[in-house]
Amino acid sequence: MPDRRARLAAARLYLVCDARGDGRDLAAFLDAALRGGVDLIQLRDKRGDDEAILRAAPLFRAAADAHDALFVLNDRPDLVAETGADGAHVGQDDIGVPQARVAVGDDRIVGLSTHTPAQVDAAAQDDVDYFAVGPVHATPTKPGRPAVGLELIEHAASEPRRVPWFAIGGLDATTLPAAVAAGARRAVVVRALTAASDPEATARALRAELEAGVGAA
């Protein structure tokens, strides 16, 4: 997939989901979210073992392929080739970016979480293809990680960045507008879609909010 980075550059809405889809029909849920405008899906399963990840990965891969989207693994660069993922996302306390790059290769993408201005600035110069900025708000998906607020979004948006970046953390229909006003043009969501009664409509509304920000920039 030689256009991975071009797809990434055009991406606006990024969904993180575990291997169970919070009890939903996982394939149907992913299809609905992608129909609504999700560009990138991440399989993040802190409780699952390798077998669970490998079992769920084909559903993510098939859903991404059906909608011309990207599929990324969380924290597991070592399984990227086996799952056919487009890349991996790592945190500040996970495997380092250089090691992740070696594991996934130059043709696939590497993303990185950032939580401070220094980390944002370093990521913009590092060998990453995108980075996430947050958590903007406290969220149960990141227990023990304090919210960074909108100031870090404003910092990330204060100057042009070499690679795309996404706001993350407690973003939904009520909180996304403030993040967009602070300068976010891309967002990562979890519960906003996994807990939505209509994930397709919710994804469509979230994407529209992001695109409105792009149009106003």
The answer to whether the beta carbons of residues 139 and 169 sit under 8 Å apart is yes
The answer to whether the beta carbons of residues 183 and 166 sit under 8 Å apart is no
150 annotated among ligand-binding-site residues: no
Per-residue confidence (pLDDT) for residue 144, from 0 to 100: 65
Task: Kindly provide the residue ranges of all beta strands, DSSP E only, lying in the chain, ordered along the sequence.
Answer: 13-17, 40-43, 70-74, 87-90, 109-114, 130-133, 165-168, 187-189
75 annotated among ligand-binding-site residues: yes
Q: What is the CATH number of the domain that holds 166?
A: 3.20.20.70
65 annotated among ligand-binding-site residues: no
The answer to whether the beta carbons of residues 186 and 209 sit under 8 Å apart is no
Per-residue confidence (pLDDT) for residue 49, from 0 to 100: 86
Per-residue confidence (pLDDT) for residue 1, from 0 to 100: 44
- Which residues constitute the domain of residue 42? 4-216
44 annotated among ligand-binding-site residues: yes
Q: Angle CA(200)–CA(201)–CA(207) in degrees, nearest 5?
A: 90
Per-residue confidence (pLDDT) for residue 139, from 0 to 100: 76
Which position has the token pair 């973003």?
Answer: 171
Per-residue confidence (pLDDT) for residue 48, from 0 to 100: 76
Per-residue confidence (pLDDT) for residue 146, from 0 to 100: 83
Q: How far apart (Å, rounded) are the C-alpha atoms in residues 195 and 208?
A: 19
pLDDT digits (tens, 9 = 90+) for 136-193: 998 776 666 789 999 999 999 999 999 999 999 999 999 999 999 999 999 999 999 9
Which residue type occupies 176? L
Per-residue confidence (pLDDT) for residue 203, from 0 to 100: 98
Q: How far apart (Å, rounded) are the C-alpha atoms in residues 120 and 156?
A: 7
Domain count, the chain: 1
142 annotated among ligand-binding-site residues: yes
101 annotated among ligand-binding-site residues: no
Per-residue confidence (pLDDT) for residue 143, from 0 to 100: 64
Phi, psi angles (nearest 5°) of residue 108: -105, 170
Per-residue confidence (pLDDT) for residue 46, from 0 to 100: 81
Low pLDDT (below 70) residues in the chain: 1-2, 21-23, 141-144, 217
Which position has the token pair 């110069």?
Answer: 125
Please list, residue by residue across 17-31, b when 16 or more beta carbons sit within 10 angstroms of its beta carbon and e when fewer do: bbbebeeeebeebbb
Per-residue confidence (pLDDT) for residue 171, from 0 to 100: 97
99 annotated among ligand-binding-site residues: no
Per-residue confidence (pLDDT) for residue 107, from 0 to 100: 95
140 annotated among ligand-binding-site residues: yes
Which residue type occupies 34? L
What's this model's pTM, rounded to 2 decimal places?
Answer: 0.94
Per-residue confidence (pLDDT) for residue 141, from 0 to 100: 64
Q: How far apart (Å, rounded) are the C-alpha atoms in residues 186 and 209?
A: 10
113 annotated among ligand-binding-site residues: yes
User: Which H helix or E strand runs over 34?
Assistant: helix 26-36
